[in-house]
Amino acid sequence: MTVAPDPRLLAHAKHVSQGASLFVLFVAVLVLVGWMLDLERVKGILPHLATMKANTALAFLAAGGSLWLLNVEGASATRAHRGAQACALIVMLIGLLTLGEYGFHRDLGIDQLLFRDIGAAPGMPWPGRMAAATAACFFVVGAAVLLFGTDAWRVARPGQPLALAVMVVSFLSLVGYGYGVRALYAIAPFSSVAVHTALSFLVLSVGVLAARPSWGLMRIVASSGVGGATARRLFPAVIGIPFVLGWLRLQGERGGLYGTEFGLALLVTSTTIALVILVCWSAASLDRADARHRDAEERMRQMQKLEAIGRLAGGVAHDFNNLLTVVRGRTHLLRGLLERDEAAERHVAIIERASDRATALVAQLLAFSRKQVLQPRVLDLNEVIASMEDMLRQLIGEDVALRFVPGVDLGRVKVDPGQVEQIVLNLAVNARDAMPRGGHLTLSTANIELDEAYARAHPGASPGLYVLFAASDSGAGMDEETRARVFEPFFTTKAPGKGTGLGLATVYGIVTQSGGNVWVYSEPGRGTTFKIYFPRIEEAPDVIQGSGPIAARHGTETILLVEDEQDLRDLACEILAGHGYTVLTAGDPEEALRLAELHPATIELLLTDVVMPGSSGPQLAERLLARRPAMKILFMSGYTGDAIVHHGVLEPGTPFVQKPFTPETLSQRVRETLG
């Protein structure tokens, strides 16, 4: 079982086949012009060599045209392939008629219809007729094109050995010319294969094989695996080296430089040395390719591992957000009931700090699993990073020298500005911890274009225009094992209690959810560089306006609250009722529909969870809006695996409150949505 062909190599093979057809057409037209103008140098290359006959040039004209049509793709491919087969039949007919003349010793006169070979020696029979070997090659190569014009490999399979046979015959003819062995290119004095005829057949047969690179033997050559790479490296050298070295040995003998025995020994030695060098070079190249392949496979397995962990983390974070909403909400409500009870206040404060830490951890898990809610803006990264310089200097301390190198004419990116700040902070903290005795931290930006080679070597990356943000430190660096796990959540090289192991996992999640990719380059003792690539866009940057806290305001509107978690539903109901709202509660969408049907008065707001058993929040909203079009909608969710959010990015204008929320946050968002 062979490795699938490389699409790039398939495209290159098509170009080779098209180039071969153009070469054959050029030679055919050139020779016909030579016959029209009686130019012996064009007809025969050199005066003492055989000429390419006029009907040979005509046959090459049909053969080159058939090969060109064979490479047509798209909507007109079927018609073009039929044209290729028709031209191939003409080529076969020319070869067959000529072979018939030779076989039956009849002169049908077809060779003299256009031009008479007035330069032929007197008494030479059939002066304008192509060589018998040429006629046979035309018949065979025409049959190969005819078969290759079909789309079924089973039918076309014999075409490859036919094309290979023509390749061998033409190569033998060229060897005969190179070594002066007439028997290899001439059956009789009047039946010689011209040198440019042999060359054209060689190019034509290569073009025929390259026209179907995904079939048969060519599938191996075009393979993206080690076998294909080996074949592509060795074939040209294996064919060319013996030919050149043998020719040089022969010229040395003819020139009297050495005898036959010495020449033979020289040939064996030089061929052996050349092949050893070739094998060593190929082996080294294959080792490098194999290393890159294995690395692409550390990377693919690592990505799959991170994907699996991310799905688990997202599910866990969703459930924890519901629980944390209840804990944080009840804690805030409890604080309002306490009256100068310092001991109770202290316990509440501890609970609040613990829940805040848990909320931060859950937010990091959501970031890693790419299920957080993003609010992207068109940004200039230079402005964002420059605005953080003072804060970063305080964060990393005086022992670490911070340097920012902004890119010139930097392109724009569309990302969440808060998440970009989170990335920069996490990388700065990571760099600071890697340099306990001080060092250098360099932040830089640049416009960059990633090509296909980079994308192949970095699974998950795509070719295109990007904005690069790089963070380089002069710290301890990482070995290969550590570098391979650096983005795993809860993986850390720090001492217990010194870190959660979620900082770089958060960076990975934010970047990939924003459509970018991140790679780390590090060696022990040589520091670490994180390179982050955000897709570049051609839009003007958004104006980011800061907003202070909005005071919670009361209301008298009626709210339909839909939440399947009872404790959370009870909490939200208590919060909203405490702010003056009339609250109708439902545990699932069907109950909500029944309540809405039975409630005669206006319902100003639907506050619904996004993910619920049986139906989703957006589906419920769609059904209720059909009956109550004036009703406002506010969604709430602990993660973003739902219909209102595509890849974690909120659609513009969608009111949303992220769990876990505090009573103040919920009441503010409700008031904002109601207006």
Tens-digit pLDDT profile for residues 535-573: 998 877 665 544 444 555 688 899 999 988 888 888 889
CA dihedral in degrees (188, 129, 24, 220; nearest 10)? -50
pLDDT at 190: 53
**pLDDT grade for 361, boundaries at 50, 70 and 90:** low
pLDDT at 642: 44
Q: How many CB atoms lie within 10 A of CB 474?
A: 19
Mean pLDDT of 11-33: 92
Q: What is the pLDDT of residues 393-421, one digit of tens each?
A: 888 888 899 999 999 889 999 888 878 88
Helix ranges, 338-416 (H): 342-368, 381-386, 389-396
Specify whether the CB–CB gap between 631 and 605 falls below 8 A. Answer: yes
- Relative to beta strand 517-522, strand 528-535 is antiparallel
Q: What is the pLDDT of residues 212-244, one digit of tens each?
A: 887 777 777 777 666 777 777 777 777 788 888
- Statement: residue 26 has pLDDT above 90: yes
pLDDT at 547: 45
- Statement: residue 314 has pLDDT above 80: no
pLDDT at 643: 41
Query: Which backbone phi and psi does 154 adopt, to 5 degrees?
Result: -60, -40
The region, left, alpha or beta by phi > 0 then psi within -120 to 50, assigned to residue 601 is beta
Neighbouring-strand partners of residue 657 = 636
- Tell which wins on pLDDT, 495 or 131: 131
DSSP secondary structure of 162-179: HHHHHHHHHHHHHHHHHH
- Statement: residue 581 has pLDDT above 90: yes
- Tell which wins on pLDDT, 358 or 64: 64
- Statement: residue 306 has pLDDT above 70: no
Mean pLDDT of 364-383: 68
Mean pLDDT of 96-125: 68
Q: Where is mean pLDDT largest: 236-245, 359-368, 397-406, 447-456?
A: 397-406
3-state secondary structure labels for all residues of 248-284: HHHHHHHCCCCCHHHHHHHHHHHHHHHHHHHHHHHHH
pLDDT at 557: 92
